[in-house]
Amino acid sequence: MVNKVILVGRLGKDPEMRYTSGGAPVTNFSLATNESWKGQNGERQERTEWHNIVVWNKLAETCSQYLSKGKLVYIEGRIQTREWDDKDGNKRRTTEIVASDMKMLERKSDGAPMAEAGAERPAPAAKPMEPGITDDDIPF
């Protein structure tokens, strides 16, 4: 069985970090994903889906430190549904994404996209050849 979710979206609010009674850090934030399509009349339609994200331990601290409202992130995790009784005794239920991986897709300060994985990087500058060695001396 597989329970895996991959989302790319923007934070709807700044992350909120707290600690459990046992001292484990936990961070929560909302993430918006957008879907767009052309309707029957040819006009562009769009829908935003909001996801509740929960992050634990070291990753929770990282999210709290580096993420902020509006930033574009990649989240990988699993779907979890929790139930509880509220203070009035009513049954409540929430579905959330428990994140196991997060990748920042923009720099924290300026919102510029970060280089994608596998993107070409500039080649290192070539070292000058030793004096007296020419291209003809190189065996390849």
Domain range for 77: 5-137
- Asked if residue 55 lies in contact with residue 63, where contact means CB atoms within 8 angstroms, the answer is yes
Give the tens place of pLDDT for each residue, 9-58: 999 999 999 999 999 999 999 999 999 989 888 899 999 999 999 999 99
Give the tens place of pLDDT for each residue, 51-107: 999 999 999 999 999 999 999 999 999 999 999 899 999 999 999 999 999 999 987
By three-state DSSP, how is residue 51 classified?
Answer: strand
More confident residue, 93 or 134: 93
pLDDT at 126: 46
Domain harbouring 59, CATH code: 2.40.50.140
How far apart are the C-alpha atoms of 102 and 23, rounded to whole Å?
A: 22
Q: Say how many domains are in the chain.
A: 1
How far apart are the C-alpha atoms of 126 and 121, rounded to whole Å?
A: 15
